[in-house]
Structure 1
Amino acid sequence: MTKRTSAKYKIDRRMGENIWGRPKSPVNRREYGPGQHGQRRKGKMSDFGLQLRAKQKLKGYYGDITEKQFRRIYAEAERRRGDTGEILIGLLERRLDAVVYRAKFVATVFAARQFVNHGHVLVNGKRVNIPSYRVKEGDVIEVREKSKQLASVLEAAQLPERDVPDYLEVDHQKMSCTFVRQPGLGDVPYPVQMEPNLVIEFYAQN
Protein backbone atom coordinates (compact mmCIF):
# COMPACT_ATOMS: atom_id res chain seq x y z
CA MET A 1 0.00 0.00 0.00
CA THR A 2 1.40 3.41 -0.90
CA LYS A 3 2.05 6.00 1.75
CA ARG A 4 -0.68 8.23 0.26
CA THR A 5 -3.29 5.45 0.28
CA SER A 6 -2.37 4.45 3.78
CA ALA A 7 -2.73 8.06 5.00
CA LYS A 8 -6.05 8.35 3.20
CA TYR A 9 -7.45 5.28 4.95
CA LYS A 10 -6.05 6.45 8.27
CA ILE A 11 -8.09 9.66 7.97
CA ASP A 12 -11.27 7.61 7.41
CA ARG A 13 -10.56 5.41 10.41
CA ARG A 14 -9.55 8.31 12.64
CA MET A 15 -12.84 10.05 11.85
CA GLY A 16 -14.80 6.80 12.09
CA GLU A 17 -16.55 7.80 8.86
CA ASN A 18 -16.18 7.02 5.16
CA ILE A 19 -15.66 10.71 4.32
CA TRP A 20 -15.21 10.20 0.56
CA GLY A 21 -17.92 7.52 0.22
CA ARG A 22 -15.46 5.00 -1.23
CA PRO A 23 -16.52 1.33 -1.42
CA LYS A 24 -13.06 0.16 -0.23
CA SER A 25 -12.93 2.33 2.89
CA PRO A 26 -11.88 0.31 5.98
CA VAL A 27 -14.70 2.03 7.89
CA ASN A 28 -17.12 -0.09 5.87
CA ARG A 29 -15.72 -3.06 7.79
CA ARG A 30 -14.88 -1.53 11.17
CA GLU A 31 -15.58 1.91 12.56
CA TYR A 32 -12.94 2.19 15.27
CA GLY A 33 -9.73 4.17 14.88
CA PRO A 34 -6.28 2.93 13.91
CA GLY A 35 -3.69 1.56 16.35
CA GLN A 36 -3.81 -0.64 19.43
CA HIS A 37 -6.10 1.77 21.33
CA GLY A 38 -8.55 2.22 18.49
CA GLN A 39 -11.25 0.01 20.05
CA ARG A 40 -11.36 1.76 23.41
CA ARG A 41 -14.80 3.01 24.33
CA LYS A 42 -15.07 6.71 23.62
CA GLY A 43 -16.51 9.07 26.20
CA LYS A 44 -18.67 12.08 25.42
CA MET A 45 -16.65 14.49 23.32
CA SER A 46 -16.13 18.05 24.56
CA ASP A 47 -17.17 21.09 22.51
CA PHE A 48 -13.50 21.64 21.66
CA GLY A 49 -13.20 18.00 20.56
CA LEU A 50 -16.26 18.29 18.31
CA GLN A 51 -14.94 21.50 16.76
CA LEU A 52 -11.45 20.05 16.22
CA ARG A 53 -12.92 16.92 14.67
CA ALA A 54 -15.08 18.99 12.28
CA LYS A 55 -11.99 20.93 11.19
CA GLN A 56 -9.90 17.77 10.72
CA LYS A 57 -12.68 16.13 8.71
CA LEU A 58 -13.06 19.11 6.36
CA LYS A 59 -9.27 19.49 5.97
CA GLY A 60 -8.88 15.75 5.40
CA TYR A 61 -11.62 15.66 2.77
CA TYR A 62 -9.74 18.14 0.58
CA GLY A 63 -6.61 16.02 0.57
CA ASP A 64 -5.47 16.83 4.12
CA ILE A 65 -4.35 20.33 3.16
CA THR A 66 -1.92 22.03 5.53
CA GLU A 67 -3.06 23.95 8.60
CA LYS A 68 -1.42 27.10 7.22
CA GLN A 69 -3.38 26.87 3.95
CA PHE A 70 -6.62 26.02 5.72
CA ARG A 71 -6.31 28.88 8.19
CA ARG A 72 -5.60 31.28 5.33
CA ILE A 73 -8.80 30.16 3.54
CA TYR A 74 -10.76 30.56 6.79
CA ALA A 75 -9.35 34.07 7.32
CA GLU A 76 -10.46 35.07 3.82
CA ALA A 77 -13.94 33.61 4.38
CA GLU A 78 -14.21 35.57 7.62
CA ARG A 79 -13.30 38.86 5.88
CA ARG A 80 -16.03 38.48 3.27
CA ARG A 81 -19.59 39.58 3.80
CA GLY A 82 -22.11 36.80 4.32
CA ASP A 83 -22.23 33.44 6.09
CA THR A 84 -18.60 32.54 6.89
CA GLY A 85 -19.27 28.78 6.85
CA GLU A 86 -20.94 28.90 3.44
CA ILE A 87 -18.14 31.08 2.04
CA LEU A 88 -15.49 28.73 3.49
CA ILE A 89 -17.04 25.77 1.63
CA GLY A 90 -17.29 27.83 -1.55
CA LEU A 91 -13.60 28.80 -1.41
CA LEU A 92 -12.55 25.19 -0.82
CA GLU A 93 -14.63 24.06 -3.81
CA ARG A 94 -12.91 26.65 -6.01
CA ARG A 95 -9.52 24.99 -5.57
CA LEU A 96 -8.39 23.56 -8.90
CA ASP A 97 -7.73 20.09 -7.44
CA ALA A 98 -11.25 20.05 -5.96
CA VAL A 99 -12.78 20.97 -9.34
CA VAL A 100 -10.75 18.25 -11.11
CA TYR A 101 -12.00 15.74 -8.53
CA ARG A 102 -15.63 16.92 -8.70
CA ALA A 103 -15.58 16.71 -12.51
CA LYS A 104 -14.55 13.02 -12.20
CA PHE A 105 -11.37 13.50 -14.24
CA VAL A 106 -9.60 11.41 -11.56
CA ALA A 107 -10.77 9.01 -8.86
CA THR A 108 -9.67 10.75 -5.65
CA VAL A 109 -8.85 14.22 -4.39
CA PHE A 110 -5.29 13.01 -3.67
CA ALA A 111 -4.97 11.90 -7.30
CA ALA A 112 -6.38 15.28 -8.39
CA ARG A 113 -3.60 17.12 -6.56
CA GLN A 114 -0.96 14.94 -8.21
CA PHE A 115 -2.68 15.24 -11.60
CA VAL A 116 -2.57 19.06 -11.43
CA ASN A 117 1.01 19.04 -10.10
CA HIS A 118 2.16 16.99 -13.08
CA GLY A 119 0.78 19.51 -15.56
CA HIS A 120 -2.14 17.51 -16.98
CA VAL A 121 -4.69 20.33 -16.53
CA LEU A 122 -5.45 23.47 -18.54
CA VAL A 123 -7.45 26.46 -17.29
CA ASN A 124 -8.79 28.62 -20.13
CA GLY A 125 -6.27 26.96 -22.45
CA LYS A 126 -3.21 27.58 -20.22
CA ARG A 127 -1.44 24.89 -18.22
CA VAL A 128 -1.79 25.36 -14.46
CA ASN A 129 0.15 23.08 -12.08
CA ILE A 130 -0.85 24.62 -8.74
CA PRO A 131 -3.51 22.50 -6.95
CA SER A 132 -4.61 25.43 -4.77
CA TYR A 133 -5.17 27.69 -7.82
CA ARG A 134 -8.59 29.31 -7.39
CA VAL A 135 -10.91 29.06 -10.35
CA LYS A 136 -13.44 31.78 -11.19
CA GLU A 137 -16.97 31.63 -12.54
CA GLY A 138 -16.87 30.91 -16.26
CA ASP A 139 -13.39 29.34 -16.19
CA VAL A 140 -12.99 26.31 -18.45
CA ILE A 141 -10.95 23.49 -16.92
CA GLU A 142 -9.85 20.66 -19.20
CA VAL A 143 -7.54 17.69 -19.34
CA ARG A 144 -4.55 18.30 -21.63
CA GLU A 145 -4.89 16.51 -24.98
CA LYS A 146 -1.88 14.24 -24.33
CA SER A 147 -3.34 13.16 -20.98
CA LYS A 148 -6.87 12.25 -22.07
CA GLN A 149 -6.03 8.59 -22.71
CA LEU A 150 -4.40 7.96 -19.32
CA ALA A 151 -5.94 4.88 -17.70
CA SER A 152 -6.66 6.79 -14.47
CA VAL A 153 -8.68 9.39 -16.40
CA LEU A 154 -10.69 6.85 -18.38
CA GLU A 155 -11.48 4.83 -15.25
CA ALA A 156 -12.51 7.83 -13.14
CA ALA A 157 -15.23 8.95 -15.55
CA GLN A 158 -16.92 5.54 -15.12
CA LEU A 159 -17.01 5.64 -11.30
CA PRO A 160 -20.59 4.99 -10.18
CA GLU A 161 -20.34 6.28 -6.60
CA ARG A 162 -20.04 9.99 -7.39
CA ASP A 163 -22.31 12.45 -9.19
CA VAL A 164 -21.07 15.67 -10.77
CA PRO A 165 -22.64 18.66 -8.93
CA ASP A 166 -24.71 21.23 -10.82
CA TYR A 167 -22.27 24.11 -10.26
CA LEU A 168 -20.05 22.42 -12.86
CA GLU A 169 -20.93 21.79 -16.49
CA VAL A 170 -18.91 18.75 -17.55
CA ASP A 171 -18.37 17.19 -20.97
CA HIS A 172 -16.66 13.84 -20.46
CA GLN A 173 -16.29 13.34 -24.20
CA LYS A 174 -14.06 16.43 -24.38
CA MET A 175 -12.75 16.00 -20.81
CA SER A 176 -13.58 19.61 -20.02
CA CYS A 177 -15.75 21.43 -17.52
CA THR A 178 -16.95 24.96 -16.85
CA PHE A 179 -17.10 26.33 -13.31
CA VAL A 180 -20.58 27.86 -13.31
CA ARG A 181 -20.83 29.37 -9.83
CA GLN A 182 -19.43 29.22 -6.32
CA PRO A 183 -21.46 26.66 -4.35
CA GLY A 184 -22.79 26.77 -0.81
CA LEU A 185 -22.79 23.90 1.68
CA GLY A 186 -26.12 22.50 0.43
CA ASP A 187 -24.82 22.29 -3.15
CA VAL A 188 -21.77 20.13 -2.39
CA PRO A 189 -22.29 16.34 -2.59
CA TYR A 190 -20.43 15.34 0.58
CA PRO A 191 -20.96 11.63 1.44
CA VAL A 192 -20.94 12.57 5.15
CA GLN A 193 -22.17 15.58 7.11
CA MET A 194 -19.74 18.49 7.15
CA GLU A 195 -20.12 21.12 9.88
CA PRO A 196 -18.35 24.34 8.83
CA ASN A 197 -20.15 26.16 11.67
CA LEU A 198 -18.07 24.13 14.15
CA VAL A 199 -14.89 24.96 12.20
CA ILE A 200 -15.75 28.67 12.52
CA GLU A 201 -16.31 28.21 16.28
CA PHE A 202 -12.95 26.41 16.57
CA TYR A 203 -11.00 29.29 14.99
CA ALA A 204 -13.02 31.94 16.83
CA GLN A 205 -12.03 30.43 20.17
CA ASN A 206 -8.45 29.32 19.44
Structure 2
Amino acid sequence: MTKRTSSKYKLDRRMGENIWGRPKSPVNRRDYGPGQHGQRRKGKLSDYGLQLRAKQKLKGYYGDVTEKQFRRAYKEAAAMKGDTSQNLIGLLEQRLDMVVYRAKFAPTIFAARQLVSHGHIRVNGVKCNVASRKVVPGDDVTLSDKAKEMLLVIEAQSLPEREIPEYVTPDGTDKVTYVRVPTLDEVPYPVTMEPNLVVEFYSR
Protein backbone atom coordinates (compact mmCIF):
# COMPACT_ATOMS: atom_id res chain seq x y z
CA MET A 1 0.00 0.00 0.00
CA THR A 2 1.34 3.44 -0.95
CA LYS A 3 1.76 5.84 1.93
CA ARG A 4 0.44 9.33 1.23
CA THR A 5 3.24 11.74 2.04
CA SER A 6 1.17 14.92 2.42
CA SER A 7 -2.36 16.18 2.88
CA LYS A 8 -4.33 15.64 -0.31
CA TYR A 9 -5.70 19.17 -0.18
CA LYS A 10 -2.18 20.59 0.07
CA LEU A 11 -1.62 19.00 -3.34
CA ASP A 12 -4.52 21.07 -4.65
CA ARG A 13 -3.15 24.29 -3.22
CA ARG A 14 0.41 23.57 -4.32
CA MET A 15 -0.83 23.09 -7.89
CA GLY A 16 -3.25 26.01 -7.61
CA GLU A 17 -5.99 23.82 -9.08
CA ASN A 18 -8.81 21.63 -7.80
CA ILE A 19 -7.27 18.53 -9.38
CA TRP A 20 -10.00 16.09 -8.23
CA GLY A 21 -12.92 18.47 -8.80
CA ARG A 22 -14.11 18.10 -5.20
CA PRO A 23 -16.44 20.81 -3.81
CA LYS A 24 -14.53 20.85 -0.46
CA SER A 25 -11.20 21.75 -2.06
CA PRO A 26 -9.60 24.78 -0.34
CA VAL A 27 -8.59 26.11 -3.77
CA ASN A 28 -12.22 27.17 -4.08
CA ARG A 29 -11.53 29.66 -1.24
CA ARG A 30 -7.76 30.20 -1.31
CA ASP A 31 -6.22 29.88 -4.76
CA TYR A 32 -2.66 30.44 -3.55
CA GLY A 33 -0.14 27.92 -2.22
CA PRO A 34 0.06 26.63 1.36
CA GLY A 35 2.46 27.99 3.97
CA GLN A 36 3.69 31.45 4.92
CA HIS A 37 5.15 32.08 1.46
CA GLY A 38 2.09 30.87 -0.44
CA GLN A 39 0.93 34.35 -1.44
CA ARG A 40 4.23 35.46 -2.92
CA ARG A 41 4.18 36.49 -6.54
CA LYS A 42 5.18 33.53 -8.67
CA GLY A 43 7.86 33.91 -11.30
CA LYS A 44 7.63 32.45 -14.76
CA LEU A 45 8.37 28.73 -14.77
CA SER A 46 11.20 27.34 -16.88
CA ASP A 47 10.59 24.44 -19.29
CA TYR A 48 11.88 22.09 -16.61
CA GLY A 49 9.55 23.70 -14.05
CA LEU A 50 6.55 23.21 -16.33
CA GLN A 51 7.47 19.57 -16.90
CA LEU A 52 7.99 18.94 -13.18
CA ARG A 53 4.67 20.59 -12.34
CA ALA A 54 2.86 18.47 -14.94
CA LYS A 55 4.44 15.33 -13.45
CA GLN A 56 3.52 16.31 -9.88
CA LYS A 57 -0.06 17.07 -10.88
CA LEU A 58 -0.57 13.81 -12.75
CA LYS A 59 1.19 11.74 -10.07
CA GLY A 60 -0.81 13.49 -7.34
CA TYR A 61 -4.12 12.90 -9.12
CA TYR A 62 -3.54 9.14 -9.06
CA GLY A 63 -3.26 9.11 -5.29
CA ASP A 64 0.28 10.46 -5.00
CA VAL A 65 1.78 7.14 -6.11
CA THR A 66 5.45 6.67 -5.33
CA GLU A 67 8.08 8.02 -7.69
CA LYS A 68 9.30 4.46 -8.24
CA GLN A 69 5.84 3.28 -9.36
CA PHE A 70 5.31 6.32 -11.55
CA ARG A 71 8.69 6.01 -13.27
CA ARG A 72 8.03 2.29 -13.84
CA ALA A 73 4.72 3.18 -15.52
CA TYR A 74 6.55 5.67 -17.77
CA LYS A 75 9.19 3.09 -18.76
CA GLU A 76 6.48 0.56 -19.58
CA ALA A 77 4.60 3.17 -21.63
CA ALA A 78 7.77 4.12 -23.51
CA ALA A 79 8.42 0.48 -24.40
CA MET A 80 4.93 0.04 -25.89
CA LYS A 81 4.00 0.83 -29.48
CA GLY A 82 2.24 4.11 -30.15
CA ASP A 83 2.22 7.47 -28.39
CA THR A 84 4.01 7.27 -25.03
CA SER A 85 1.83 9.91 -23.34
CA GLN A 86 -1.37 8.09 -24.36
CA ASN A 87 0.15 4.79 -23.24
CA LEU A 88 1.02 6.30 -19.85
CA ILE A 89 -2.53 7.47 -19.25
CA GLY A 90 -3.85 4.07 -20.32
CA LEU A 91 -1.58 2.27 -17.84
CA LEU A 92 -2.54 4.59 -14.98
CA GLU A 93 -6.25 4.09 -15.74
CA GLN A 94 -5.74 0.31 -15.59
CA ARG A 95 -4.75 0.40 -11.93
CA LEU A 96 -7.31 -1.42 -9.79
CA ASP A 97 -7.70 1.47 -7.34
CA MET A 98 -8.45 3.81 -10.24
CA VAL A 99 -11.08 1.46 -11.70
CA VAL A 100 -12.71 1.32 -8.23
CA TYR A 101 -12.70 5.14 -8.17
CA ARG A 102 -14.09 5.42 -11.71
CA ALA A 103 -16.85 2.94 -10.77
CA LYS A 104 -17.92 5.34 -7.98
CA PHE A 105 -17.31 2.68 -5.34
CA ALA A 106 -15.29 5.29 -3.37
CA PRO A 107 -15.52 9.10 -3.05
CA THR A 108 -11.77 9.69 -3.54
CA ILE A 109 -8.84 7.82 -5.06
CA PHE A 110 -7.39 7.54 -1.54
CA ALA A 111 -10.57 5.88 -0.28
CA ALA A 112 -10.53 3.58 -3.33
CA ARG A 113 -7.00 2.46 -2.46
CA GLN A 114 -8.10 1.77 1.11
CA LEU A 115 -11.07 -0.32 -0.08
CA VAL A 116 -8.71 -2.43 -2.15
CA SER A 117 -6.02 -2.82 0.52
CA HIS A 118 -8.62 -3.84 3.11
CA GLY A 119 -9.84 -6.67 0.90
CA HIS A 120 -13.25 -5.27 -0.08
CA ILE A 121 -12.77 -5.65 -3.85
CA ARG A 122 -13.09 -8.73 -6.07
CA VAL A 123 -11.62 -9.06 -9.57
CA ASN A 124 -13.41 -11.76 -11.56
CA GLY A 125 -14.74 -13.08 -8.26
CA VAL A 126 -11.34 -13.32 -6.56
CA LYS A 127 -10.36 -11.02 -3.67
CA CYS A 128 -7.50 -8.69 -4.54
CA ASN A 129 -5.80 -6.30 -2.12
CA VAL A 130 -3.13 -4.92 -4.48
CA ALA A 131 -4.09 -1.39 -5.51
CA SER A 132 -1.61 -1.26 -8.39
CA ARG A 133 -2.85 -4.48 -10.01
CA LYS A 134 -3.45 -4.03 -13.73
CA VAL A 135 -7.08 -4.52 -14.79
CA VAL A 136 -7.47 -5.67 -18.40
CA PRO A 137 -10.47 -5.27 -20.74
CA GLY A 138 -13.13 -7.82 -19.89
CA ASP A 139 -12.32 -7.97 -16.17
CA ASP A 140 -15.23 -7.68 -13.73
CA VAL A 141 -14.67 -5.64 -10.57
CA THR A 142 -17.16 -6.09 -7.74
CA LEU A 143 -17.68 -4.99 -4.14
CA SER A 144 -17.66 -7.49 -1.28
CA ASP A 145 -20.94 -8.01 0.57
CA LYS A 146 -19.62 -6.02 3.54
CA ALA A 147 -18.53 -3.12 1.33
CA LYS A 148 -22.01 -2.77 -0.19
CA GLU A 149 -23.31 -1.57 3.19
CA MET A 150 -20.45 0.84 3.98
CA LEU A 151 -21.42 4.51 4.29
CA LEU A 152 -18.30 5.43 2.32
CA VAL A 153 -19.52 3.46 -0.69
CA ILE A 154 -23.11 4.71 -0.40
CA GLU A 155 -21.81 8.31 -0.25
CA ALA A 156 -19.61 7.79 -3.32
CA GLN A 157 -22.45 6.41 -5.43
CA SER A 158 -24.56 9.50 -4.72
CA LEU A 159 -21.87 12.06 -5.64
CA PRO A 160 -23.27 14.46 -8.26
CA GLU A 161 -19.91 15.80 -9.47
CA ARG A 162 -18.72 12.54 -11.03
CA GLU A 163 -20.09 10.26 -13.73
CA ILE A 164 -18.94 6.74 -14.56
CA PRO A 165 -16.96 6.96 -17.84
CA GLU A 166 -17.89 4.88 -20.88
CA TYR A 167 -14.89 2.58 -20.62
CA VAL A 168 -16.22 1.28 -17.27
CA THR A 169 -19.65 -0.35 -17.68
CA PRO A 170 -21.77 -0.73 -14.53
CA ASP A 171 -23.94 -3.79 -13.84
CA GLY A 172 -26.16 -2.76 -10.95
CA THR A 173 -24.59 -0.83 -8.06
CA ASP A 174 -21.93 -3.31 -7.00
CA LYS A 175 -20.29 -4.51 -10.21
CA VAL A 176 -18.53 -2.95 -13.21
CA THR A 177 -16.78 -4.35 -16.27
CA TYR A 178 -13.61 -2.71 -17.54
CA VAL A 179 -14.42 -2.45 -21.24
CA ARG A 180 -11.32 -0.90 -22.81
CA VAL A 181 -8.19 1.10 -22.14
CA PRO A 182 -9.16 4.76 -22.59
CA THR A 183 -7.45 7.50 -24.57
CA LEU A 184 -6.54 10.81 -22.95
CA ASP A 185 -9.63 12.62 -24.22
CA GLU A 186 -11.92 9.95 -22.71
CA VAL A 187 -10.57 10.29 -19.17
CA PRO A 188 -12.78 12.65 -17.11
CA TYR A 189 -10.08 14.83 -15.56
CA PRO A 190 -11.51 17.93 -13.80
CA VAL A 191 -8.41 19.90 -14.87
CA THR A 192 -6.12 19.80 -17.90
CA MET A 193 -3.46 17.12 -17.69
CA GLU A 194 -0.35 17.29 -19.88
CA PRO A 195 1.18 13.81 -20.08
CA ASN A 196 3.31 14.97 -23.03
CA LEU A 197 5.22 17.21 -20.59
CA VAL A 198 5.62 14.25 -18.21
CA VAL A 199 7.18 12.26 -21.06
CA GLU A 200 9.53 15.18 -21.79
CA PHE A 201 10.47 15.30 -18.09
CA TYR A 202 11.49 11.64 -17.96
CA SER A 203 13.17 11.59 -21.36
CA ARG A 204 15.57 14.43 -20.53
Superposition TM-score, scaled by structure 2 size: 0.97
Q: Could you say which residue in structure 1 is the equivalent of 2:59?
A: 59
Paired position in structure 2 for 1:197: 196
Aligned to 2:100: 100
- How far apart in 2 are the matches of 1:177 and 1:89? 20
Partner of 2:35: 35
CA gap of 1:59–1:192, structure 2 versus 1, over 3 A, is same
Identity of aligned residues (%): 67
Distance in 2 between residues matched to 1:171 and 1:7, nearest whole Å: 34
Find the aligned partners of 1:6 and 1:153 in 2 and give their Cα distance: 24
On the 8 A contact 2:20/2:189 being kept in 1, the answer is yes
Q: Specify every segment of 5 or more residues in structure 2 that has no aligned partner in the other structure, as ranges.
A: none
- Kindly tell me the number of residue pairs found equivalent between the two proteins: 202
Q: Distance in 1 between matches of 2:168 and 2:143?
A: 15
1:121-140 → structure 2 map (5 Å cutoff): 121-140=121-140
Confirm or deny that 1:85 pairs with 2:85.
yes
How far off its partner does 1:170 sit? Answer: 1.1
Q: Distance in 1 between matches of 2:45 and 2:68?
A: 26
Amino acid at match of 1:183: P
Q: Which amino acid aligns with 1:178?
A: T
Q: Residue 177 of structure 1 aligns to which amino acid in structure 2? A: V
The answer to whether 1:112 aligns with 2:101 is no
Counterpart residue number, 1:70: 70
Structure 1 residue 171: deviation in Å? 2.7
Is the counterpart of residue 23 in structure 1 residue 32 in structure 2?
A: no
Which residue of 2 is the match for residue 8 of structure 1?
Answer: 8
The answer to whether structure 1 residue 150 and structure 2 residue 150 are counterparts is: yes
- State the 1:30 CA deviation: 1.2
Q: Give the partner amino acid of 1:196.
A: P
